[in-house]
Amino acid sequence: METLEKNFKKVRWVGWERSITPHIEREKKVMEYQVGWDKAKQRGWFEIYDEESGGDDYYGGGGLEFNGNMLVGYDGVFTLDSEVIQCLKDWGATMDEFMEEEEEEGEEE
């Protein structure tokens, strides 16, 4: 089994989201991504942080849990970033359960 890793940068509009904040002020930042998947251990990880401050201003990270190629759990953030999801999909991961939840949340807004 192999360990997959990818480091990349992406310009994103970011802001702090809180459950009681009705409006989020966003700013344009270069975000650095580090995503990994150890297929033998069925575990993965991700880190996302702003390049300018090295993560002092914006940082998120956590673990990923797989059953075979199916993503069955994650921690560290409320929702997975779309760039992390796309990276995992490019590697062959499936995550139907999480995509359905994301779509349902989007419909409620």
pLDDT of residue 21: 67
- pLDDT tens profile 18-31: 777 677 789 999 99
- pLDDT tens profile 1-19: 689 999 999 999 998 777 7
Domain boundaries, the chain: 3-14+23-108
Q: What is the dihedral of CA 19, 21, 25, 31, to 10 degrees?
A: -10
- pLDDT tens profile 30-86: 999 999 999 999 999 999 999 999 999 999 999 999 999 999 999 998 889 999 999
CA–CA gap between residue 41 and residue 65 (Å, rounded): 9
CA–CA gap between residue 64 and residue 66 (Å, rounded): 7
Tell me the pLDDT band of 108, cut-offs 50, 70 and 90.
very low
